[in-house]
Structure 1
């Protein structure tokens, strides 16, 4: 199964869920509805640990760094991530009413009413609220950076490894079963045709946004460095396709580094910035999360405002620093924000996970390719 990647498993789970939901009896589907209830409660229980385990050591490790190069790289990555989220929001707000008009919320007035209830539920109350976890993570991260101690930092790094193992060994392997159950349940409830139509349209829009944003990033870098932006982008294509296959920014670092140096970036700058950007620069993932979140909110007829989305995107830019280096890690790190800031319920979170994972590799490829542009900009601005 390890050779059978996450994306193929998700696709198989969706197709199988539709088939099973069409033909199998109610009692059979309720078995998976029960699993989904337990898995969803477990996910809610783990979310505060994900937030603390990734945000606190992430902030601390950046805060302990010194020098102009660190500041330039981190600031450039954050600006790029926020800009990507804002562009995705305004594009989605303009286009979704047109391309998703046939799937408007009239088909989802009460989505839970069409879903089968589980046979039983297992309560798993989180140890703290998501907002409390966010505040605690920020206080802990900034505190560790301020005192410059290593004991707590080492403990938090080990805690992060534990959470990564939970995501990698428990949550990610069980996600296809969870998504299978969701689609089987939605199919028997008569909702799946509209959902699949949304999947196709949102997927295409996200890929187009990725390409356009990469062009914008390299146009900016090209203007600053007086280089042909399309030649620069072409030089980074090996990194794009490597990330598309590995679905991992970390695994692509050697290729990204080699191709970034081919752009004429100083070796010292590239050696520092590229590995750092693999962790803190996730513009492609941000485009995907914001686009998918807007689609889910439109389906569920959920209210949103420019203010609430701006706050969400600003916080998302920080949270993306904490995204674990496993497939689907970015959306896992963002679940808490979706729940607290945008009011996502368990059904909306499940749809969000399915939408995001369907194109996770493309988001990673956009992240990695954009790292070359950010490094080129930092190299130009850095005078040391």
Structure 2
């Protein structure tokens, strides 16, 4: 089953959903609409727990060290992630009106319009609101860092492990069935043609954006280290292709570390930054999330201003800290923000998940390849400022 990865299962789910939705009767569609309703409610229940379970220990463990190298790496990584989101916004804002012309249909202004409803619903109230979970995560995480509380840190880490298991053993395995139900329902309602056309166009745009942003990252890194950026990119290509297969930044760390050390950076710097960046540098995932989110918004015939998207991008960079090392972890961590800050409803969230997971491995590949550039930039700056391995964060 491992060889039949999540991407393959998502593709099969989409194809089967389209095929079966075109011939199925209403009873069958309602059956999966019921499953989707239950799954969506459970997802809403667990989102605040995901935020609390991953952000609190992430901030707590990162903030415990006062090392200059930690601060420098974190600042550069966060800046890279935010810049990636801003670029994705402006590209989508200017390209979508032409790229997706004719697909912002009035009939599609409400994505749930025309879809079959479920047989019954089961309310699953979330234990807290998304913003409450975010604030509580910050308070707990910063508190752990301030008091260096080992007991509380271990408690939050164990809670993170529980949530990780929920994602890995429950949510991820059920996602293909959820996506199957969504596409079967949309096919039955006559909306799938628009969605597939958007999928294809957005997919190509995201790949191009990833590659261009990697060139930007390595151009900056090369200018600081006096190396050819394209030679650096070639050296990092094994990490890129490994990530395509693993769909996990964490699982690719050994390859990323080995290839990063070939960029003529200090080994001590690479040993410290690469594992850290695997959790906090998500430029590729951010490009994907912003591009997909704006595509879903565009389908509604709505627009998003820079003033409204910027807080979302800033929060996104924080929310994905220590995102679970499982396929689709970034979009799972971002669902709460999509709902509260961009007003996504259940159907829009489902479309967002499908759009994101269809190319999750490519976003991960961009993340880990960019880690080499961030490490090189960090190393170049730290050399000039005489920051050595003795300045690294203490565990």
Native 8 Å contact 1:241 1:365 kept in 2:
yes
CA–CA distance in structure 1, aligned partners of residues 123 and 296 of structure 2:
26
Q: What is the CA distance between 1:113 and its match in structure 2? A: 2.4
Where does residue 31 of structure 2 map in the other structure? 31
Q: What is the CA distance between 1:65 and its match in structure 2? A: 1.6
In the alignment, does 2:111 pair up with 1:114? no
- Which ranges in structure 2 are unaligned for 5 or more consecutive residues? 388-395
CA–CA distance in structure 1, aligned partners of residues 271 and 29 of structure 2:
52
Where does residue 218 of structure 2 map in the other structure? 218
Native 8 Å contact 1:322 1:333 kept in 2:
no
Matches within 5 A, 1:71-86: 71-86=71-86
CA–CA distance in structure 2, aligned partners of residues 87 and 75 of structure 1:
18
In the alignment, does 2:4 pair up with 1:9? no
Matches within 5 A, 1:138-217: 138-217=138-217
Native 8 Å contact 2:111 2:348 kept in 1:
no
Post-superposition Cα deviations, 1:224-267, rounded to whole Å, max 9, x if no partner, equal: 11110000011100000001111111111111111111110001
- Which ranges in structure 1 are unaligned for 5 or more consecutive residues? none
CA–CA distance in structure 1, aligned partners of residues 111 and 366 of structure 2:
33
Q: CA RMSD in A?
A: 0.8
Q: What is the CA distance between 1:105 and its match in structure 2? A: 3.5
Where does residue 393 of structure 2 map in the other structure? none
Where does residue 100 of structure 1 map in the other structure? 100
TM-score, normalised relative to structure 1: 0.99
Where does residue 334 of structure 2 map in the other structure? 334
CA–CA distance in structure 1, aligned partners of residues 111 and 78 of structure 2:
36
Where does residue 277 of structure 1 map in the other structure? 277
CA–CA distance in structure 1, aligned partners of residues 2 and 225 of structure 2:
42
CA–CA distance in structure 2, aligned partners of residues 331 and 325 of structure 1:
12
CA–CA distance in structure 2, aligned partners of residues 372 and 65 of structure 1:
22
SS of aligned partner of 1:256: helix
Q: What is the CA distance between 1:92 and its match in structure 2? A: 0.3
Q: What is the CA distance between 1:303 and its match in structure 2? A: 4.4
Q: What is the CA distance between 1:305 and its match in structure 2? A: 1.9
In the alignment, does 2:203 pair up with 1:228? no
Where does residue 312 of structure 2 map in the other structure? 312
CA–CA distance in structure 1, aligned partners of residues 105 and 73 of structure 2:
42
Q: What is the CA distance between 1:109 and its match in structure 2? A: 2.3
